[in-house]
Chains A and B, each alone.
Chain A
Amino acid sequence: MNPDFHYYATYCAAILAGYSHEESQDIAHSDQFVDLCSATFLTIIKAPLSAATTQLQLELMDARTDIVGLQDITRIWSSFHFLPRDLSAEPKKPSSKKYRNKYRLICGPNGELVKSTVELAKGKGMQAVGVAMHVLADTWAHQYFAGTPSLVINNTNHYFYECFPDGSEKKIRFRHSVSAPDDLENSIYTASLYVSSENSIMNLGHGRAGHLPDYGFIRYKYLPAWDDYEEVVKDNPSDYKHAFCQMITAMKYLRGVNDSFECGQYDFDAISDIEEDIEAILGKRQVDASDDWKALGEKLSGQTITPFDIERYKEEYKNASSEDKDSTFLGRFILAALAQKSMVTNKIYTSGNKLAGYSVDYKKQGFRGIDDFRRLLAPEKEAKK
Chain B
Amino acid sequence: MNRFQRLKDILIALILTAFGVTLILVPEEGYNDIILVLSLLIAVYGIRLLWYYITMSRHMVGGKSSLYHAVIVLDLALFTGSIATMNNFIILFYLLGIFAFGGVINVLRSLEAKRYGASWRFKFFSGVISVVFAIAMLVLGVVLGNNNILVYGFSISLFYSAAVRIYNAFRKTAIVYIQ
On A, residues with C-beta under 8 Å from B are 40, 43-44, 56, 58-59, 61-62, 66-68, 71, 75, 91, 93, 95-96, 98-99, 102, 151-152, 155, 157, 196, 198, 223-229, 341-343, 345-346, 354, 357-363, 367-371, 373-374, 376-377, 380
Tell yes or no: B174 within 8 A of A by CB. yes
Which of A59, A66, A226, A354 is B60 in contact with, Cβ under 8 Å?
A: A226
- Chain A residues, CB < 8 A from B123: 62
Q: How near does chain A come to B46, taking the closest CB pair, in angstroms?
A: 13
How many inter-chain contacts with C-beta < 8 Å in the A-B complex? 123
B69 in the interface (beta carbon within 8 A): yes
Q: List 19 A-B contacts (CB under 8 A).
A: A67-B5, A68-B168, A68-B173, A98-B56, A151-B60, A152-B57, A224-B61, A226-B59, A228-B59, A342-B176, A342-B177, A346-B177, A357-B173, A362-B176, A362-B177, A368-B176, A369-B175, A376-B178, A380-B178
Q: Which residue of the partner chain B has the closest CB to A43?
A: B119
Please report the C-alpha to C-alpha distance between residue A380 and residue B176 in the assembled complex, in whole angstroms. Answer: 13
Partner of A71, one of B55, B117, B173, B176: B173
A99 vs B177: C-alpha distance when bound (angstroms): 26
B93-137, CB < 8 A from A? 109, 112-113, 116-119, 123
How many Å from the CB of A338 to the closest CB on chain B?
Answer: 9
List of B residues within 8 angstroms of A43 by Cβ: 119
Any chain A CB within 8 A of the CB of B145? no
B61→A196 contact, CB < 8 A: no
- B residues in contact (CB < 8 Å) with A: 1-2, 5, 52, 55-57, 59-63, 65-66, 69, 109, 112-113, 116-119, 123, 168, 171-179
- Residue from B65, B66, B119, B177 having most chain A Cβ neighbours under 10 A: B177
A363→B179 contact, CB < 8 A: yes
Q: Which residues of A contact B52 (CB under 8 A)?
A: 198
Question: Which chain B residues lie closer than 8 Å to A151 at the CB level?
Answer: 57, 60
Contact of B56 among A62, A96, A224, A374 (CB under 8 A): A96
Is A68's CB under 8 angstroms from B65's CB? no
A360-B59 in contact (CB<8A): no
- Name B176's contact: one of A155, A354, A367 (CB within 8 Å): A367
Q: Would B175 and A58 count as touching, CB distance under 8 A?
A: no
Q: A68-B168, A155-B60 are in contact. List 6 more A-B contacts (CB 8 A).
A: A58-B112, A95-B59, A152-B63, A157-B62, A359-B177, A370-B172
Q: How far is the CB of A203 from chain B (nearest CB, A)?
A: 11
The answer to whether B1 touches A44, judged by C-beta atoms less than 8 angstroms apart, is: no
Q: How far is the CA of A225 from the CA of B58 in the complex (A)?
A: 10
For the complex of A and B, 4 pairs with smallest distance between CB atoms? A369-B174, A346-B177, A96-B55, A358-B174
CB contacts (< 8 Å) of A99 on chain B: these are: 55-56, 59
Q: Identify A157's interface contact among B61, B66, B176, CB under 8 A.
A: B61
